[in-house]
A and B are shown apart, each in its own frame.
Chain A
Amino acid sequence: MTFTLSDPTWYPIASSEDLPFRHVYQGQLLGRELAVWRADDGNVNVWENRCLHRGVRLSIGINEGAELKCQYHGWRYANRSAGCTYIPAHPADAPARRIQNRTYPVREAYGLIWSAANDEQPFRPFPGAEDKDWLPLRPMPVNAEPEDVLAALARLDQYADILPGLSIRSGNVIWFVQPVDAGRAVIRGLLADQPAEPLAELRRYNELLTGLRDRLERAATRKPAPAPLQPIFEKVSADLATMPEIAIPRGNTMTVVVKRKWQSADGVIGFELAARQGHLPTFQPGAHIDVHLPNGMTRQYSITNGPGDLMSYVIGVKAESAGKGGSKVLVETVREGDLLAISEPRNNFPLRRDATRTVLIAGGIGITPLLSMARFLDKSSLPYELHYFVRSGEQAAFRDQLEALHGKVIIHQGLPRDEIAATIATSLGEWSMAQHVYVCGPSAMLESVRATAAAQGWPDEAIHFEYFKNDKVIDNSSSFEIELARSAMTLHVPAGKTILEIMREAGLTVPSSCEQGACGTCLTTVIEGEIDHQDVYLNNSEKASNACMMTCVSRAKSARLVLDI
């Protein structure tokens, strides 16, 4: 048997006890190094032992419980998905591109951690695995070819049964040979049932294996060493290798199940949306998803989850029918067990995770992105304050989640307008270096925080807010031509009509949601022409790039725009 990099067999790669919390274990399988770590939720991650940025081993990284932090540049990768959640060199634009470390399948069973080179085979328990209480023996690394190790184990007991996957049953022990490389292996034994004197038993087997190792290594020196397996470091995707000046998030749709729907507070309904299989994509604190509603509308909702928490997304929906009735449909007709289509998470509200003080200010349903931010800061033990303004105590959503936080969480109830302003002023305080404020809530509150912060010396870069609504007056007086490059069509946009409306009149199906330049759904690449941006979605540098726009509110300053549609 020759070992290949793609051998799909499941092998044990560690003992459960090699993975205490907040530790990263360096595993090995078939010539590869693996970073193996347990998150605080118990999940075990098996990843390629290499940060995708500059190749530094993640086994020297820091296990923060829900994210792993690389020691070289501070990049963080999320539990389960291995998706990058933070790039400190560019804190303002978070990882706009999907950067995901390579992961391997994993299963924890019988006191061992199991993995395979790929997903081709499902994990199967070894024969007779289920009815015993297994005790893992001390593993023994051996510098010998894995088949030779297996043959030597077989010679220990003439009645031994050879089992699939380089394993052997010998009496009440099952031996597994973990192929580390073409010429290296680890012997891992499982003892059926807990012995009366475990220490003596463990010692006895350890002596047995030590003797076996010595014989095997002596024999191995007498034959030519096999060539080591050469792991292939897979190339990153082409879009990760190029560096766009700005990254435009474009999501695919995926289907989720409404796992739970509950009343989180007076007027706020919570929805837990679970993946149909496995986990959902990585998101950053502050990110939102577009939810495609049964009535054909699309609405944005912030993800409230904490770091590495990817089995489901929890969103909060304001029950009173806001806007064009999107939330109303969710609240009234969507039930537990229903399927919904959602976009991949997008983030227009990136959180800096290197601030000396972070102030989070939420009004009403604006708590949702800030709850997620607070959970990320909390998990990394970074200082923050969360001020949550509600009309009455019954309206404070996600109370249990807020109470589980260790930072300073203050719920301000039923304050009159002038007291809100005064409270905001006190909460903010005078600005000093490396302090940041994040605010989400009604427009009036956003404006109040912006004005107060500015008056108290907070610079623009330190004030972060997210609009769900564009309150600007849209100037739609211009008229111009649009050329749709991919559809080979030229259309005239007259004053008073939007690009979106004109495209729809011409029979094109184009996505949109808020239709007021706030959500980013109708984001379109512009190939030529000068754009008159009127949205609040794109930031200034994105606008200045003149490479994309919102077809619902943007217009042309030039006579013609060429769109990538």
Chain B
Amino acid sequence: MPNIDPLTRDLWQVVAATDEITPGVVETTILLDTPIAITRDSTGAPIVWRRTDEEQGDEINPASIAERLPVTSGYGYIWTSFGNPPAELFPIPEYAEADRVNMSCGSIGIHVSAPRAVENFLDMGHFPYVHTDILGAEPHTEVKEYDVEVSEERDEVLATRCRFIQPRAAKSATSAMEVEYVYRVPHPFCSVLYKSCPEDESRRDVIAIFLQPMTEERCRAHLLQSMIDSTSTITDLRRFQQTIFGQDKPILENQFPKRLPLDPRSETPIRADKSAIAYRRWLSQKGITYGVIPAAG
């Protein structure tokens, strides 16, 4: 096993959407450079183990799997760990609200490190250029001042008062509106976004991205939407999110180096990058070395 920092080893890591795993059938993937296999037992409970000679699609008796990795389910996904994971996953309380439409929006491989993908998710400056006419458009290129804090109590990065004018902020949006965002980074490789909901002004849609670090330079993005939308179909809502992600993918894959550099002098920050800077510093202070280029010294 390659050199994985202790913190990354002890984290819960996402590996698959629960619904996409058929009980008794093997699904294979890679987590932290290690081939793993996933299935579910007859009650639907997930099982994850280090892959040996199993192949994708093999039928297997789940009871025969002896050496299992820790496993948990949350937000529609299966999570595992190579170390001693915490008792609970980080909280997304909105997921439990009765009237929300919760859906997984697919798992997309990207040839870039997981932290690079998190940083891209936090970034508003690219909306007019990468998501033209959906999440942003010229002339609205300005990133207004926003607030960022690292909450010690919750151990997460929190960016608030983020505002951006969007031509079509959500599937249910019909015209341009100034959207207010809150970004949370409650896990080194996961981020949760809250945005004003076109359908109900008093509530917020939730979009989360859970990144599965496959290697230091490759990951899979697992997307969750938890929406207040009474009109769109789940297929449409998924397609919308996949379109957005499809636009990010080629840009991310052209980022160099592929691992996220944590030295403040490796890239040129501007005021709009406040949340990215806080995120890089948070990773650095935690001692995360997987998928990043640590700052020297």
The 8 closest A-B pairs by CB, nearest first: A88-B141, A434-B139, A89-B272, A235-B265, A354-B139, A241-B265, A89-B125, A57-B254
Cα separation A243 to B263 with both chains bound (whole Å) = 14
Contact with B along A56-88 (1 / 0, CB 8 A): 110010000000000111100000000000011
Which among A54, A88, A241 has the highest number of chain B CB atoms within 10 Å? A54
Cα separation A355 to B257 with both chains bound (whole Å) = 33
A222 at interface (Cβ–Cβ under 8 A)?
Answer: no
Cα separation A240 to B264 with both chains bound (whole Å) = 9
B171 at interface (Cβ–Cβ under 8 A)?
Answer: no
Contact with A along B129-149 (1 / 0, CB 8 A): 110000000111111000000
Pair A90/B143 contact, Cβ less than 8 Å: yes
B255 at interface (Cβ–Cβ under 8 A)?
Answer: yes
Which among B142, B270, B271, B277 has the highest number of chain A CB atoms within 10 Å? B270
Pair B129/A71 contact, Cβ less than 8 Å: yes
B250 at interface (Cβ–Cβ under 8 A)?
Answer: yes
- Chain A residues with CB under 8 Å of B140's CB are 354, 434
Pair B250/A55 contact, Cβ less than 8 Å: no
- Chain A residues with CB under 8 Å of B163's CB are none
Cα separation A33 to B258 with both chains bound (whole Å) = 14
A126 at interface (Cβ–Cβ under 8 A)?
Answer: no
Pair B272/A55 contact, Cβ less than 8 Å: no
A238 at interface (Cβ–Cβ under 8 A)?
Answer: yes
Pair A238/B251 contact, Cβ less than 8 Å: no
B269 at interface (Cβ–Cβ under 8 A)?
Answer: yes
Q: Nearest chain A CB to B100's CB is how many angstroms away?
A: 32
Pair B143/A89 contact, Cβ less than 8 Å: yes
- Chain A residues with CB under 8 Å of B255's CB are 54-57
Cα separation A237 to B269 with both chains bound (whole Å) = 11
Pair B141/A91 contact, Cβ less than 8 Å: yes
Cα separation A14 to B251 with both chains bound (whole Å) = 25
Q: Nearest chain B CB to A37's CB is how many angstroms away?
A: 16
- Chain B residues with CB under 8 Å of A91's CB are 141-142
Main secondary structure of the interface of A (DSSP, over half): loop
Pair B139/A53 contact, Cβ less than 8 Å: no
Pair A90/B266 contact, Cβ less than 8 Å: no
Pair B128/A74 contact, Cβ less than 8 Å: yes
Pair A72/B267 contact, Cβ less than 8 Å: no
Pair B265/A233 contact, Cβ less than 8 Å: no
Q: Which of A336-390 contact B (CB under 8 A)?
A: 352, 354-356
* Known A99-B268, A235-B263, A241-B265; contact A88-B251, beta-carbon cutoff 8 A: no
- Chain B residues with CB under 8 Å of A356's CB are 139
A514 at interface (Cβ–Cβ under 8 A)?
Answer: no
Q: Which of A240-255 contact B (CB under 8 A)?
A: 240-243
A30 at interface (Cβ–Cβ under 8 A)?
Answer: no
- Chain B residues with CB under 8 Å of A54's CB are 119, 255, 267
In the complex, residue of chain B having the shortest beta-carbon distance to the beta carbon of A88: B141
Pair A243/B256 contact, Cβ less than 8 Å: no
- Chain B residues with CB under 8 Å of A89's CB are 125, 141-143, 270-272
A-B contact count (CB 8 A): 97
Pair A74/B141 contact, Cβ less than 8 Å: yes
B126 at interface (Cβ–Cβ under 8 A)?
Answer: yes
Pair B270/A90 contact, Cβ less than 8 Å: yes
Q: Nearest chain B CB to A48's CB is how many angstroms away?
A: 10
Cα separation A241 to B256 with both chains bound (whole Å) = 18
A233 contact from B143, B250, B254, B266, Cβ within 8 A? B266
Pair B268/A73 contact, Cβ less than 8 Å: no
Interface residues of A (CB under 8 A from B): 33, 49-50, 52-57, 60, 71-74, 87-92, 99, 233, 235-238, 240-243, 352, 354-356, 433-434
- Chain A residues with CB under 8 Å of B272's CB are 89-90
* Known A88-B142, A89-B143, A233-B257; contact A72-B268, beta-carbon cutoff 8 A: no
In the complex, residue of chain B having the shortest beta-carbon distance to the beta carbon of A58: B254
17 contacts between A and B (CB under 8 A): A33-B256, A54-B267, A55-B267, A57-B254, A57-B256, A60-B254, A74-B141, A88-B142, A89-B125, A89-B272, A91-B141, A233-B256, A240-B265, A241-B264, A243-B269, A354-B141, A355-B139
A53 contact from B251, B257, B265, B268, Cβ within 8 A? B268
Cα separation A354 to B139 with both chains bound (whole Å) = 4
Q: Nearest chain A CB to B196's CB is how many angstroms away?
A: 20
Pair A236/B265 contact, Cβ less than 8 Å: yes
Pair B125/A73 contact, Cβ less than 8 Å: yes
Cα separation A56 to B277 with both chains bound (whole Å) = 17
Q: Which of B46-69 contact A (CB under 8 A)?
A: none
Cα separation A49 to B141 with both chains bound (whole Å) = 24
- Chain B residues with CB under 8 Å of A74's CB are 128-129, 141
Pair A235/B266 contact, Cβ less than 8 Å: yes
Q: Nearest chain A CB to B148's CB is how many angstroms away?
A: 12
Pair A73/B126 contact, Cβ less than 8 Å: yes
Cα separation A334 to B257 with both chains bound (whole Å) = 51
- Chain A residues with CB under 8 Å of B269's CB are 241, 243
* Known A241-B265, A241-B269, A243-B270; contact A90-B142, beta-carbon cutoff 8 A: yes
- Chain A residues with CB under 8 Å of B267's CB are 52-55, 236
Pair B254/A56 contact, Cβ less than 8 Å: yes
Cα separation A74 to B125 with both chains bound (whole Å) = 9
Cα separation A119 to B278 with both chains bound (whole Å) = 38
Cα separation A90 to B269 with both chains bound (whole Å) = 12
Which among A91, A238, A241, A434 has the highest number of chain B CB atoms within 10 Å? A241
- Chain A residues with CB under 8 Å of B125's CB are 73, 88-89
Pair B142/A236 contact, Cβ less than 8 Å: no
